Amino acid sequence: MPLAFGWRWRRGAELPAAVKALLQRLTPRPGVLPLPPYMDWCNAQGRFSLRAVRLAAALGHGEAVGVYITQHVARGVRLMSALNALRLPQRQYELAYWLARGLSESQIAQRMGISLNTVVYHRRQLYNRLGASHRIELLTKLGL
pLDDT band at 1 (very low <50, low <70, confident <90, very high): low
Q: Could you tell me how far CA 18 lies from the centroid of its own chain?
A: 21
Mean pLDDT of the chain: 82
CA 109 – CA 128 distance, rounded (Å): 20
The Cα 33–Cα 7 span in angstroms is 35
129 and 88 Cβ atoms separated by less than 8 Å: yes
Please state the pTM of the whole predicted model: 0.56
The pLDDT assigned to 104 comes to 92
Please give the CATH number for the structural domain made up of 75-141.
1.10.10.10
Cα–Cα dist 71/73, whole Å: 6
| 40, 64, 112 from 68: Cα distances, Å | 12, 13, 42
The pLDDT assigned to 7 comes to 64
88 falls in which pLDDT band (50, 70, 90)? confident
Model pLDDT for residues 27-40, shown as the tens digit of each residue: 777 776 666 788 88
Going from N- to C-terminal start, the domains of the chain cover 2-72, 75-141
